[in-house]
Structures are given as structure tokens and as C-alpha cells.
Amino acid sequence: MATEMSVRKYITANEAVAQAARLARVDVVAAYPITPQTSIVEKIAKYIADGEMDADYIKVESEHSALTACMGVRMAGARAFTSTSSQGLEYMHEMLAYAAGGRYPLVLVNVCRSVALPWSIWGDQQDAIQQRDTGWIQIFTETGQEALDMVLQAYRIAEDHRVLLPVMICLDSFIQSHTEELVQVPDQKTVDSFLPRYDPVVTLDVDNPYSISVGGFGKHYARWREEQQTAAEKAGEIILEVGDEFARIFGRHYGGLIEEYRCDGAEAVLVAMGAFTGTAREVVDEMRDEGKNVGLVKVRAFRPFPVEPLRKVISPVKAAAVLDRDCSWGYEGALATDMKAALYGLPNPPAILNFIGGLGGADVPPERMKYMLEKALAADRGTTPHLEFIDR
Amino acid sequence: MKLKDIAKEEFYRASYGCAGCAAVLMVRLTIKALGKNSVYVVPANCISTVSCYYPQAPFFVPFTVMAFAATAAALSGISAGFRRRGREDIHVVGLSGDGGTADIGIQALSGAIDCGNKFIYICYDNEAYMNTGIQRSGLTPYGAATSTTPSPCFENRPKKDMMRIVAAHDIPYAATACTSYPLDYMEKVVKASQVNGPTYIHILAPCPTGWGFPPDETIEIGRMAVESGMWHLTEFENGEFRTTYTPKRQRPVSEYLATQTRFRHLSPEQIAAIQKEIDAARD
Ligand SMILES: Cc1ncc(C[n+]2csc(CCOP(=O)(O)OP(=O)(O)O)c2C)c(N)n1
Ligand code: SF4
Ligand SMILES: [Mg+2]
């Protein structure tokens, strides 16, 4: 019954995301085009034009206004959708923090792309990583299917009254955005049973007037921020809860905040986010066939950061090779830093080897992943930190 | 509209505004004109600063603070959201300063007018960034000293003409007003609320703190602005501008300029030049 009238289609992740916005019964879409996100908003505009989707499209003049308009839609008690990439996400920066601090349950799809300068329309995850501390829940996906499924789940997570935080679903440019793969597009009735209508906590209600999104001095400000942190931590539980329910209804499960792939008995693991984890699975299989004890840890939720699951899976290994498609210039990859912090306090912790690669659309082919894992296999616990740029 | 028709009920009270603040008066008049069925977006400016700090709540209608540049986009989104929920009867109103309108927010304003959603965008013009301590804006008039255009090097560029800018968007309705003419203003607000599309009202709101005049002269200063020809009460509708009020007496601009410390450095020649501009515009 779960899949009646649902269809399997060869579509890009961008189209899968557009389908998800339609299925989520979004009321208003406000978005501004940028490569490689563009086809998401073009598809949505077409669904609306063809009467396949009952929504309004606000043709905003910028990403700053796109996100602001989505906040406005939420204030009126309706459901909004936006999507962007790279320079667009950066242009939104002020409003990203505004939306999270104001506890707006928004959903944004970011097609991860490099940021200028140097100018590049190609992929890495620098854009999303640079927004890490704005307060958004950030989930990285591997496939078009996962992107579609996570957009549906994102509305449940964001709108959950225990969370009320915006959710950013990240997918990788071109590898996902422009590559067709077989995607199961669920039917509306089943989606409706999973994702009910938006039930807002507070709106601009003329019969019950509130000041929403106000200012606060010292102790109030601090208290709201603490509540925000509590909600962001709570989101971890809710992501699991929603993921389990999704699996019961749709039969697809992605493993929670992280996914462990062949980590049992592993001496070394590769840790990565996004579409590269697809290649990494094959590398792990090959190396296992060669008798090497390696595994893959796919980090799905970057915020809230999955400290406990990571400690559990990483503590038994000798070393972890962490692949970052980003860099915190002057330090190291952001995922590596967070990994190390998560392991803090463990006696004789595993070595963390940080590899920065896949920048500006560079591929990280299987040989290079193998290279990283071999290096990790050769490293001992407690080895001093290692940072290496691998795009050559 | 008659004075006796104005609601006695106050929907905005106990703000931290300075004594004699015309911007505060503007908020009171706006909500009285529109009644309870209205919601307000206020970006970073004097009004949000004197009204938004929890647990203070001077607005007795729904209200939200907004980022400095984002007023018009928020109005557009709220308006679309209400339409989706069948609540097009609710007036969606922005209260933005001159800086939030003519400078940082002009892109979003242009975009939102272009989108065509129904809202009332009100620019209260105190002719500088007052909230941050009297820095010049694109609407600071020629000759005024501010903290970023201190005398003797005062503001050397003319005030941007926001009415012509919004008119160039083919906006269905726009008007100018002044807090010293409350009925004229409130009629324009009501008129804007009856338009099914974006509307813009630009109201001159004298600021005793920033302009340098005693707080009990706010109304008189606004009248002098109009009577000297420094400000005009107009409407833009169906592609045409018209004057809604012609002052019975005309005053020399020197009288207006003499009331405010921000103009005190001006030489007789500079004042004569300002008068010449006004006379040329009148003809
Ligand atoms: C992006 C951004 N830049 C700068 C500021 C600082 N700021 C807050 S209010 C303001 C001036 C507001 O001027 P105006 O719109 O004329 O309103 P007024 O204070 O005069 O009422 C400035 C510069 C800000 N809040 N946001
Ligand atoms: S500085 Fe001027 S505009 Fe701001 S509150 Fe005081 S009088 Fe009003
Ligand atoms: Mg001002």
C-alpha cells in the first residue's frame, strides 16, 4: 500500500527535490536562480504553470529577499520553500542567522558549490560549511532519492514543536544536481499521511496579537539562545524519530545522524559527507576484498553534530581519514576539527588524518580514496594531526 | 475623514521614543487609520529600537522586527502567505526609515513592488540614520550637517526622489505626507489599504533630536517644511502625480532652515541657492 501510484523515474536530484517541494504541499516558493540550483526552481515554476502544483511563486530579486519572503510566509502561517547555492547562500547569510534565531521552521535546499574567489561554478561544500554557525540544521545527502526523502523529512523536523529550527538539505552539485538516477517518487496520499498540514505555534494573528521576533537585552537574549541550543540538540533525536517513521511508511532508511558502512572490526575508516560517499562504498568493498579492514562513516547531520554516534564508531579504530570538501582557512577542514572535538577526552584516541579534496569540482577518484585509507591504516593511534590537500 | 472619525483607542503606546518624536506619532496615526486588522514589519530603525525590547510591547497589533534591508521582501512573503490562507483582508504594513528605504532596502523594495503582492510600505523620513546617531542617508537634504557629514562639510548632494523611483515601477498607488497633516496622511493610508497591490507612502517625520529643535515644535517644523516648499504633499495614481495640499501661505526657506541646528552653518549665499532650487521646482 505504501507505494501505490508512486513512480520510479530517471531524474536528477534537482528534479527529485522539486518533486519533494510539490509533495510537501508548499504554499509559497520564493527563490532566485543560480547554477547549479536553477533547474530546481525552473521545475517548480513549471509544475505551478501546468497546474500540477498548487502554490504561489514569488519572483524575488535576490536570495536575501527569497529567504526573507519565506520567513514572511511562515509568519502568515503557511509553508514555504527556497533553494540556492554558493554565492546565493552567502548572500542570504544575514537572514540565515535571523531565521534560525527567530525559530522559523523553514526548509532550504542548498546545492553545494564552491564560493568565489577564485570564481567557480563547480562543486565543493565550502558554501554550506561557511554557514555552519548560523543555527540551521544541516543534513548532507548522497543521492537524488535521499535528497527527495530528506526534504519531506525536513519539514517534519523543522516544524516539530520541540525543534522549530530551519533545516538545510545539502546535495552536491553536478554529481547529484545534474545526474539522472532512478528515484522512487512517492504518491501524494502517502506523503500526506506522513507530513500533515503546518501547525504553527505563533503567527501574525490579528485576533490574538503578539510581537514575534523581538529584541532582548542580556539575560533574555542569553536565555533564548540557550533554548535555541537545546532545540538544536533535541533535533538530533527528532531526526532519528522522523527517519524511523519515514522508513516504516516508505521502506527507506538512511541510518540516522551517521551511516556506518562495513565498520565492524575496521582498523581504519574514511569519514565523509555528501555524494562522494557513493564512491567510498566501492573503495571499501574493494579493499575489504583485499583483506583490509576498512569502513566508511557517512556523516549525514553536520548540525546537530553527531558526537555520540561518532565516538562510538570511531573509538575502536586506529585512525580515521577525514575528507573535507571545504577548509577553515588557516586551520583545517571543518569536519576534521569537529571530529577531533568529538573524540576529546578519549584515552589514546584514534589518529585523525585530514584530507582536503574535491575543491572547485575536482574529482576524488577511487585511487585517491584508497590512498587516504592506506595512510590511515599505516597510522597509529595518537599520531600527530595530518593535513593534506589531495587535488593535484 | 474628519478629526472626530479618528479612533480614540491607542494601538501603540509607551514606546521609548524621544519627546516630540514624529516617527512615534506616525505609528499611532497609521494604526488608527487601519485598525486592528493590520500587521506590522519594522526593520532596524528608531521605531523598532524604541518598541521591540522584550518584555516591552507598545504595539497592540501583531508586529515583528526585521533585518534592515528586508522590509519589503517580508511584506511580500506575509502577503502571499495570508493570500494562501484566505486572509487577504489583513493589511500588511512596513514601517521603514529613510535609510531602510532609500539606501539599504531599496533593492528589496524595488523587487517587492515588481512582484505585485498587496502591501503598504511606509517610509517615515527623518532625513538621516537617527537610530545609529544621526548619520547621513540618501534622503538627507542638501545642506544638512550629520555625524558623517559634519559642518563645515555638510551634505552636498540633493535628497533622492523616492516618489519618482517608485512611480517608475508603475506602482498602483504612492503618496507623500507629513506628520503635521494627520488627516491627509490617514486618508492616504486608508486609500492605500484599498488597493489590491503594492503601495508606498513617504511621510516626512521631523526629528527633534537629529534636526536640532525643541521637542514641542515638531508639528510647527513639519508645517514649515511644507509651507517653505522643502516638502510637498502629493499622490501618484493611474500614472499621474498630483498635489493634495497647497499651503495657503508660502514662507521663505530661510525661516525653516533657521529653526534647526543642522542647517546653522549655511551662509546666506547657500540659503539663497536652496531658495532658488525651490522656486525653480515651483514653476
Ligand atoms: C545590515 C545592517 N547594517 C547596518 C545596521 C545598523 N543600523 C541600524 S538602524 C540604522 C539606521 C536606520 O536609519 P533609518 O532607516 O533612516 O531609520 P531611523 O533610525 O532614522 O529611524 C543602521 C545604519 C543594521 N542594523 N543592519
Ligand atoms: S532620534 Fe528622532 S526619530 Fe529617533 S526616536 Fe528620537 S525623535 Fe524619534
Ligand atoms: Mg532615518
pLDDT of residue A249: 98
| Side chain identity at residue A299, one-letter code | V
Q: Which of A62, A78, A206 sits opposite B84 (nearest CB)?
A: A78
Is it the case that residue A33 has pLDDT exceeding 90? Answer: yes
What residues have CB less than 8 Å from A16, skipping those under 6 apart? A144, A145, A147, A148, A183, A185
Residue (of B6, B85, B100, B82) closest to B39 by Cα position: B82
Q: Angle at the Cα of B77 (from B72 to B83), degrees rounded to 5?
A: 125
Q: What is the DSSP string of A223-286?
A: HHHHHHHHHHHHHHHHHHHHHHHHHHHHS----TTEEEES-TT-SEEEEE-STHHHHHHHHHHH
Plot region of B26 (φ>0 → left; ψ -120 to 50 → alpha; else → beta): alpha
What residues have CB less than 8 Å from B180, skipping those under 6 apart? B206, B218, B219, B220, B221, B222, B223, B225, B226
Average pLDDT, chain A: 96
pLDDT of residue A392: 80
Cross-strand bridge partners of residue B41: B64, B94
The whole-angstrom distance between B260's CA and the closest CA on chain A is 33
The whole-angstrom distance between A209's CA and the closest CA on chain B is 4
Number of domains forming the structure of chain A: 2
Within a 10 A sphere around the Cβ of A91, how many other Cβ atoms? 18
Length of chain A: 392
> B62, A72: Cβ pair inside 8 Å?
no
Mean pLDDT along residues A237-255: 98
Of the residues A250, A279, A305, which one is the last residue of a structural domain?
Answer: A250
Confidence at A261, pLDDT banded by 50, 70, 90: very high
Q: Which of B54, B67, B110 sits opposite A98 (nearest CB)?
A: B67
User: Tens of pLDDT along A281-329?
Assistant: 999 999 999 999 999 999 999 999 999 999 999 999 999 999 999 999 9
Mutate to test the interface with A, among B76, B89, B93, B96 (most CBs of A within 10 A): B76
Q: Is the CB of B144 under 6 A from ligand 2?
A: no
Residue range B3-282 in CATH 3.40.50.970: yes
Q: Do A267 and A233 lie in a common domain?
A: no
Q: Could you tell me the three cell numbers for B230?
A: 522643502
Collect all residues of chain A within an 8 Å Cβ-Cβ radius of residue B54: 211, 214-217, 220
pLDDT of residue A382: 79
The best mutation among B24, B130, B216 to test binding of ligand 2, ranked by most ligand atoms within 8 Å of the C-beta, falls on: B130
Is it the case that residue B62 has pLDDT exceeding 80? Answer: yes
| Side chain identity at residue A379, one-letter code | A
Which residues 47-76 of B have a C-beta within 8 angstroms of A? Answer: 48-49, 52-55, 57, 59-67, 69-70, 72-76
> Could you tell me if A166 and A137 are in contact, meaning their C-beta atoms sit under 8 angstroms apart?
yes
Distance separating alpha carbons of residues B155 and B137, to the nearest angstrom: 9
Nearest-atom index, ligand 2, CA of B47: 5
Q: Would you kindly state where each structural domain of chain B is located, as residue ranges? A: 3-282
Q: Could you tell me the three cell numbers for B189?
A: 493610508
Q: Could you tell me the three cell numbers for B79?
A: 502577503
> Could you tell me if A294 and A355 are in contact, meaning their C-beta atoms sit under 8 angstroms apart?
no
Of the residues A222, A250, A278, which one is the last residue of a structural domain?
Answer: A250
User: Tens of pLDDT along A319-377?
Assistant: 999 999 999 999 999 999 999 999 999 999 999 999 999 999 999 999 999 999 999 99
Q: What is the DSSP string of chain B?
A: --GGGS-SS-SB----PPTT-HHHHHHHHHHHHH-SSEEEEEESSHHHHTT-BTT---BSS-EEEE-TT-HHHHHHHHHHHHHHTT-TTSEEEEEEEHIIIIITTHHHHHHHHHHT--EEEEEEE-SSBTTTTSB--TTPPTT---SSS-TTS---SPPP-HHHHHHTTT-SEEEEEETT-HHHHHHHHHHHHTSSSEEEEEEE---HHHHT--GGGHHHHHHHHHHTTSS-EEEEETTEEEEEE--SS---HHHHHHT-GGGTT--HHHHHHHHHHHHHHH-
Q: Do A218 and A262 lie in a common domain?
A: no
Is A1 domain-assigned?
no
Cross-strand bridge partners of residue A322: A271, A354
Q: Could you tell me the three cell numbers for B150?
A: 559634519
pLDDT of residue A36: 98
Q: Do A147 and A224 lie in a common domain?
A: yes
Cross-strand bridge partners of residue A10: A182
Is A337 domain-assigned?
yes
Q: Do A88 and A137 lie in a common domain?
A: yes
Is A2 domain-assigned?
no
The whole-angstrom distance between A72's CA and the closest CA on chain B is 4
Q: What is the DSSP string of A17-53?
A: HHHHHHHTT-SEEE----TTTHHHHHHHHHHHHTTSS
Distance separating alpha carbons of residues A339 and A334, to the nearest angstrom: 9
Q: How far does the centroid of ligand 1 lie from the alpha carbon of residue B144, in Å? A: 19
User: Tens of pLDDT along A159-207?
Assistant: 999 999 999 999 999 999 999 999 999 999 999 999 999 999 999 999 9
Q: Do A236 and A266 lie in a common domain?
A: no
SS3 state at A6: coil
Residue (of A167, A169, A165) closest to A230 by Cα position: A165
Nearest-atom index, ligand 1, CA of B23: 21
Which CATH number belongs to the domain containing residue A15 in this structure?
Answer: 3.40.50.970
pLDDT of residue A5: 82
Q: What is the ipTM of this complex?
A: 0.97
Distance separating alpha carbons of residues A107 and A97, to the nearest angstrom: 14
Q: Do A264 and A311 lie in a common domain?
A: yes
User: Tens of pLDDT along B148-185?
Assistant: 999 888 999 999 999 999 999 999 999 999 999 999 99
Collect all residues of chain A within an 8 Å Cβ-Cβ radius of residue B87: 76
Confidence at B215, pLDDT banded by 50, 70, 90: very high
Q: Angle at the Cα of A383 (from A380 to A389), degrees rounded to 5?
A: 110
Average pLDDT, chain B: 96
pLDDT of residue A2: 39
Which CATH number belongs to the domain containing residue A313 in this structure?
Answer: 3.40.50.920
Q: Is the dihedral of CA A57, A58, A59, A64 positive or negative?
A: negative
Distance separating alpha carbons of residues B214 and B201, to the nearest angstrom: 27
Of the residues A196, A215, A250, which one is the last residue of a structural domain?
Answer: A250
Where in the sequence is the domain holding A357, given as residue range(s)? 258-389
Q: Which of B52, B73, B78 sits opposite A60 (nearest CB)?
A: B73
Collect all residues of chain B within an 8 Å Cβ-Cβ radius of residue A59: 114-115
Q: Do A170 and A285 lie in a common domain?
A: no
Plot region of B86 (φ>0 → left; ψ -120 to 50 → alpha; else → beta): left
Q: How far does the centroid of ligand 2 lie from the alpha carbon of residue B267, in Å? A: 27
Q: Is the CB of B207 under 6 A from ligand 2?
A: yes
Q: Could you tell me the three cell numbers for B205?
A: 517625520
| Closest residue in chain A to residue B78, using alpha carbons only | A72
User: Tens of pLDDT along B225-281?
Assistant: 999 999 999 999 999 999 999 999 999 999 999 999 999 999 999 999 999 999 998
Q: Do A90 and A175 lie in a common domain?
A: yes
Mean pLDDT along residues A39-65: 97
SS3 state at A201: coil
Interface membership of B162 toward A (CB under 8 Å): no
Q: Do A165 and A305 lie in a common domain?
A: no
Distance separating alpha carbons of residues B39 and B48, to the nearest angstrom: 14
Residue (of A21, A91, A104) closest to A56 by Cα position: A21
Q: How far does the centroid of ligand 2 lie from the alpha carbon of residue B174, in Å? A: 24
Mean pLDDT along residues B205-216: 98
Strands A28-30 and A56-58: parallel
H/E run at residue A289: helix A276-289
**How much of chain A, in percent, has pLDDT values that exceed 90?**
95
Residue (of B174, B177, B159, B180) closest to B235 by Cα position: B174
What residues have CB less than 8 Å from A31, skipping those under 6 apart? A37, A40, A41, A44, A60, A66, A81, A82, A83, A84
Confidence at B41, pLDDT banded by 50, 70, 90: very high
Q: Is the CB of B126 under 6 A from ligand 2?
A: yes
Confidence at A1, pLDDT banded by 50, 70, 90: very low
Is A44 domain-assigned?
yes
